[in-house]
A and B are shown apart, each in its own frame.
Chain A
Amino acid sequence: MKVLTLNFLTCAVKSCKSSSDSFPLHPKDAELVSDDVNLNPQLLVNLLPRIDWNALRTTSTELGFPQLPEQPPSAEELEADEKMLKDLHTLLMETQINEGKLVCGHCGHEYAVREGIANFLLPSHLV
């Protein structure tokens, strides 16, 4: 489960969707691994406006990465800043939650991540 993916996920429980507490999900006991992924600067620049920056800041901090700036860089800034590109690439594309849990801040349900795959199937009483 990539950190980038986490930026597009909320709790699977329907009644949680309307609560801002259900996003982003909070990693717990996360074991991180890093994959070697080729840097695609254009993709990162294009993805930038689709990323919820506040949620990414939260996730980044919770996973123990250095604090991200309050505001996202502009496309021009990112294109011109090789270090920022590399850092974002490492965080978003290469860093994976391999084992651990993702916790909803609204209902408290914990979704397991095993061998890099998160499981969002709900127990019947939560469907």
Chain B
Amino acid sequence: MASSSTAALPSSSAADAVAKLTAASAETENETEPAAAAEAEAEAEAYERTHVHGVYEAIAPHFSATRYKPWPAVAAFLRSQAGGAVGFDVGCGNGKYLGVNPDVFMVGSDRSASLVALARRRWKELQNRQATADASGTGGEASGAAVTTDAMVADGLSLPFREHAADFVICVAVIHHMSTRARRQDAIRQLLRCVKIGEAGQAGGQALVYVWALEQGSSRRGWDEGGEQDLLVPWVLKSQQKQQKSRKGAKGEGTGDANAADKSGEAPPTPAAAGASEAAVAPSHTDPVFQRYYHLYRKGELEEDVLAAGGVVVSSGYERDNWWVVAANGLFPHDRR
């Protein structure tokens, strides 16, 4: 998903770090030493803890306030699911996709406990509004089908889902945060383990994956074909006060009450919901900046990763600075680890 940040400069440190991680894992592939492989994996994990998990924990409320609008193409995928379908949202963030289709049952998971707590608060409020509206017979937008969803904390590489039980899975703006190709492919493999295997006369489940594209010729970020793919992208944690146009200065640290922003629905007023701080003024010196790791996918790379994970590509494309793919299980998915 698009970032909310000042223009990100390719950071050589991210590229260097990833080169090191990749070299470490490549080295170990030829060796018989499993300890070395484990060590390389632990390094990649530690890197992501700092440059992905830690950042999201710190920016969760601010991040959530800029992510309230579902992407049309993802929402369309969700609405196309049959009534009673069961779906997982891996990396659900603040849960903005969990209530899109009230006729399916969705379960979200995210690595960030803070974001899961926000997701839960969000749909509980919706649920309460529905119950109240129905009880008072006022109807309106809040009434109608109940929100049937749930969310939990889990790692995308160690998911707790019953295997091949889901009709569909979505994974939006998540896999580009994994710092080695092996881990990105493993993440897709885990998604494929969630969805049903096709049988005679019955299609299998589908996994929709969105990742940030390297080719962003039309955006202001300045990334394009041939550029560096492994980047640290800054997130400027602007104080809430400033975002809401009061001129308090950036001294009030933290994010204020992001929940209030959520409820008012008027959090960062930008067209794409995503470019919030991008459009904003340059960060002041007191705004804390967090560096998030991203792997920008080049054209065709996501499809390659699906195949490497043992899946088949049902459809794929490009939308608003992102590559997407709908993947399904191949013929012999049980051989997979």
Contact = CB atoms under 8 A, between A and B. Distances in A.
Interface of A: 1-2, 4-5, 7-14, 17, 23, 35-40, 42-43, 45-50, 52, 93, 111, 115-122, 124, 127
Nearest to B119: A117
A12 B134 contact: no
B146 A52 contact: no
Given A37-B131, A43-B83, A8 B165 contact: yes
Contact of A127 (B111, B147, B158): B158
Contact of B152 (A7, A23, A37, A120): A120
Nearest to B194: A8
B107 interface: yes
A73 B160 CA distance: 28
A50 B147 CA distance: 18
Given A4-B105, A47-B105, A10 B162 contact: yes
Contact of A8 (B83, B113, B146, B161): B161
Contacts of B82: 46
Given A12-B154, A39-B146, A46-B84, 8 more contacts: A9-B162, A10-B161, A12-B158, A42-B84, A50-B85, A117-B153, A119-B152, A120-B152
B145 interface: yes
Contacts of B150: 1-2, 4-5
Nearest to A23: B162
B130 to A, nearest CB: 6
Consensus secondary structure, chain B interface? mixed
Interface string B300-318: 0000000000000000000
Interface string B179-193: 000000000000000
A41 B306 CA distance: 37
A40 B120 contact: no
Interface in B15-61: 42
Listed from nearest, the 4 A-B pairs whose CB atoms lie closest are A46-B84, A38-B146, A120-B154, A5-B150
Among B42, B85, B128, B146, chain A packs the most CB atoms within 10 A around the CB of B146
B159 interface: yes
Nearest to A49: B84
Contacts of A12: 154-155, 158-160
A61 B86 CA distance: 24
Contacts of B291: none
A122 B160 CA distance: 10
A38 B83 CA distance: 16
A124 B46 CA distance: 11
Interface in B112-159: 113, 116-117, 120, 124, 127-128, 130-131, 134, 145-148, 150-155, 157-159
5 contacts: A1-B150, A5-B107, A14-B158, A121-B111, A122-B155
B84 A43 contact: yes
B12 to A, nearest CB: 29
Contacts of A8: 86, 88, 107, 161-162, 165-166
Interface string B265-276: 000000000000
B98 to A, nearest CB: 12
A40 B128 CA distance: 15
Contact of A119 (B86, B113, B128): B113
A117 B120 contact: yes
A117 B203 CA distance: 33
Contacts of A14: 158, 337
A1 B152 contact: yes
Contacts of B117: 115, 117
A111 B160 CA distance: 11
Q: Which of A13, A14, A49 has the most CB of B within 10 A?
A: A14
A47 B157 CA distance: 27
Contacts of A1: 150, 152
B102 interface: yes
B178 to A, nearest CB: 14
